[in-house]
Amino acid sequence: MGKPTLILASASPRRRELLARLGLKPAAIAPADIDETPLKGELPRAYAVRMAREKAEAAASSEGFVLAGDTMVACGRRILPKAEDEATARQCLELLSGRRHRVLSAIALRAPDGTLRERLSETIVVFKRLSTSEIDAYIEGGEWHGKAGGYAIQGSAEGLISRIDGSHSGVVGLPLFETRALLKAAGFALG
């Protein structure tokens, strides 16, 4: 039997780049279009895992293994949105300024037989206290668009982060340690 087929349930170029670091190229990209609204009273960890699971199920295939992920930012019990406009990005950055927050990156792997495996990475990130001019400059750069919590650690926001405790790749969008472990458990031959 040949190498198992991997289907990535995400259109994210960052997730493809991160998978390439493990020597993997998905055979297909099948973004899952699901409702990403948190349930009433849903806590951040449960939300991240549910999103990854639902994405894997939505892209399910008998042709291969489906890998799905969800990365979200939590400040306390609050789930921060993906910033789709400048006002939301600004609100997120003002909230995160000078504070620690958690980035939860869940992954789910669905086998062709329906078996589902999941992992969760939790990373603590601390922003320096941001001045209005720093927030303005970051907003102007546009990296925040579509990003959970209104920032992308792989861009200029990294220069505003004073500390990170956990998985850098998890904050980018795919925790490589957990992904590798999940794929190995499913029978993928990795170096």
Three-class DSSP labels, 93-125:
HHHHCCCEEEEEEEEEEECCCCCEEEEEEEEEE
Pairing, β 6-8 against β 65-75: parallel
pLDDT at 178: 96
CB-CB contact of 56 with 9 (8 Å): yes
**Confidence band of 62 (pLDDT split at 50, 70, 90):** confident
Give the number of other Cβ atoms within 10 Å of residue 27's Cβ. 15
CB-CB contact of 44 with 72 (8 Å): yes
Tokens matching residue 98: 């000078």
Q: Which fold has domain 6-185?
A: Maf protein (3.90.950)
State pLDDT tens for residues 24-42: 999 999 998 899 999 999 9
Question: Which one of 70, 113, 136, 165 is the catalytic residue?
Answer: 70
The b/e string for 65-93 (b: 16+ C-beta within 10 A; e otherwise) is bbbbbbbbbbbeeebbbbbeeeebbbebb
Which residues are paired to 82 by β-bridges? 148
State pLDDT tens for residues 120-148: 999 999 999 999 999 999 999 999 999 99
Residue 70 annotated to the active site: yes
Residue 65 has pLDDT above 70, yes or no: yes
CB-CB contact of 52 with 107 (8 Å): yes
